[in-house]
């Protein structure tokens, strides 16, 4: 089974403290390399979208990962799984 990669970002609500969690765009990529190339080629537009959509939140990291990895990282942050 092919695991797809997604542009993922760690969101922190600046006035609360610890990271709120990982979120993902919904455009899939077949490989991590394709996803990373997309980030490199679209860095400015990705920053603009994130700033516009997440006005009062801070983006701590932007990287490519599978949905399974994102869910596991959120589990480590929150101690329980959130529904998709």
The pTM score is 0.78
**Residue numbers of the domain that contains 31:** 6-78
The reply to whether 59 falls in a domain is yes
**What's the total number of domains in the chain?**
1
pLDDT digits (tens, 9 = 90+) for 46-76: 988 888 887 767 788 899 999 999 999 988 8
How many beta carbons lie within 10 A of that of residue 64, not counting itself?
20
The pLDDT of residue 80 is above 80: no
Whether 49 maps to a domain, the answer reads yes
Q: Considering the domain boundaries, does residue 83 fall inside one?
A: no
Per the CB < 8 A criterion, the answer to whether 19 and 40 are in contact is no
Q: Let me know if residue 26 belongs to a domain.
A: yes
Residue 84 lies in a domain: no
Mean predicted lDDT score pLDDT of the chain: 85
In a domain, 1, yes or no: no
- Position 37 in a domain: yes
């Amino acid at each position: 089974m092919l695991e797809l990669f997604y542009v993922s970002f760690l969101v922190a609500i600046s006035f609360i403290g610890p990271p709120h969690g990982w979120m993902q765009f919904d455009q899939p990529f077949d490989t991590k390399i394709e996803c990373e190339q997309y980030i490199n080629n679209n860095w400015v537009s990705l920053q603009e979208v994130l700033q516009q959509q997440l006005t009062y939140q801070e983006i701590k990291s932007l990287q490519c990962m599978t949905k399974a990895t994102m869910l596991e990282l959120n589990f480590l942050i929150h101690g329980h799984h959130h529904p998709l």
